[in-house]
């Protein structure tokens, strides 16, 4: 009988913390193998471009609390 994702999640919740963490790491590692190298490179290039803009003072950083407050306002939550 094939198990659903929800059933697998419920089973995983029963594992001790260390085993859950190991399961998560293995799932992430397996998922990372499916990433298109061109897309991965594009994201890396974008991250480096943004970091350079920050280091050169070309962009202004916004504190996380302010970002979250703006997001809550946009979606109508307080």
Q: Where are the domains of the chain?
A: 37-75
Q: Taking a C-beta distance cutoff of 8 angstroms, is the pair 28, 35 a contact?
A: no
Distance, C-alpha 55 to centroid of its chain: 23
- Each residue of 9-32: pLDDT tens digit? 999 999 999 999 999 999 998 888
Give the per-residue pLDDT at 1: 77
Give the per-residue pLDDT at 31: 86
Q: Taking a C-beta distance cutoff of 8 angstroms, is the pair 53, 59 a contact?
A: yes
């Amino acid at each position: 009988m094939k198990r659903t994702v929800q059933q697998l999640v419920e089973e995983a919740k029963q594992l001790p913390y260390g085993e859950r963490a190991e399961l998560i790491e293995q799932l992430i590692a397996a998922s990372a193998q499916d990433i298109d190298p061109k897309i991965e490179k594009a994201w890396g290039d974008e991250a480096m471009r943004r970091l350079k803009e920050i280091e050169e003072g070309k962009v202004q950083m916004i504190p996380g609390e302010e970002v979250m407050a703006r997001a809550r306002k946009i979606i109508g939550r307080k």
